Copies of this chain bind each other. A is one copy, B any other.
């Protein structure tokens, strides 16, 4: 951490400030420039509060050299993490460390017939996980909110019928009991910085699919993962799903560069959700292929047996046929 001291500060004051900083457990290098002094803090600065420093009357600028995430940081954990999930059929599904994970299914669980049809369709096409939401975050209180607690038994039935492990979004920590048989817990974009939720999930042994917030930086996504790891849970799959920008052709702007960026910064697996990023189904295959080509460890794609009849997000869902065609393309890409 580097601190530029305000111009005109007497040397003695700067040296005293440096001494105070050293009491926080770091060493301080003093360097006197032409117009101002610069202090270099050496040692573990993870717990030093940048904002508090910035408020100090002698400080002009504070610059971090080391990243504030530690356990998610590839620097301190160079090997790829691989998330392993055992399906009800006894087969292990892997994501990360060279294993591509394909998560597919409808935005929300609507009926036994719908979710079971979806499960079989995505399994036949080669998906490794079934997704399906029971609880749905919706912008309007008047929109369909998911079928709630009633949806999970249907999802679990589809799990047993298809043999696929399931991914579902948790919005309220008090529903955790309902999620006992859910294999991967999804944290949605709007909850990426719901720290209350993150702290609780840190104490739970289940894998977490953590979606990047619409206005969250790559580093904030890593800090959210750090909350989970700091709590004891490092079974995390990161998910890029588009950020909010001025461009409104697509619902959000898929930040494809987040894939190589995250792969460099962290050992955790990274998947991409092209369906929510684009918001329009005809664009999903192009983005899914781009994701795998950029090095993603998987994709999460919305597939609905009958998108037009979908109660939610039908506009962005693939038909089973379109998904099957996409899987063929992804398989060939993976072989490269």
Contacts and interface: CB of A to CB of B under 8 A. Distances in A.
A261 B290 contact: no
A182 B258 CA distance: 36
Given A137-B193, A193-B190, A253 B257 contact: yes
Interface in A60-74: 60-61, 63, 65-66, 68-69
A184 to B, nearest CB: 20
A23 interface: no
The 10 closest A-B pairs by CB, nearest first: A55-B314, A215-B215, A293-B293, A290-B290, A260-B286, A54-B315, A290-B294, A289-B293, A55-B315, A256-B256
B55 A215 contact: no
Interface in A244-271: 244-250, 253-261, 264
A15 interface: no
Contacts of A260: 282-283, 286-287
A138 B330 CA distance: 39
18 contacts: A29-B33, A29-B38, A33-B42, A49-B144, A51-B313, A51-B315, A52-B311, A55-B313, A69-B140, A139-B193, A140-B223, A171-B196, A215-B243, A219-B249, A244-B246, A249-B261, A289-B293, A332-B336
A257 B244 contact: no
Interface in A162-176: 171-172, 174
Contacts of A336: 329, 332-333, 336
A322 interface: no
A63 B64 CA distance: 10
Contacts of A248: 217, 248
Q: How large is the interface on A (under 10, 10 to 19, 20 to 34, 35 or more residues)?
A: 35 or more
A215 B218 contact: no
Interface of A: 2, 4, 27, 29, 31, 33-36, 38, 40, 42-43, 46-47, 49, 51-52, 54-57, 60-61, 63, 65-66, 68-69, 137-145, 171-172, 174, 190-191, 193-196, 199, 213-215, 217-220, 223, 226-227, 230-231, 243-250, 253-261, 264, 277-278, 281-283, 286-287, 289-295, 307-308, 310-317, 329, 332-333, 336
B283 A257 contact: yes
A310 B42 contact: no
A286 B230 CA distance: 31
B38 A249 contact: no
Contact of A140 (B68, B215, B329): B68
B52 A314 contact: yes
Contact of A287 (B144, B257, B313): B257
Residue picked from A194, A199, A227, A247, most chain B C-beta under 10 Å? A247
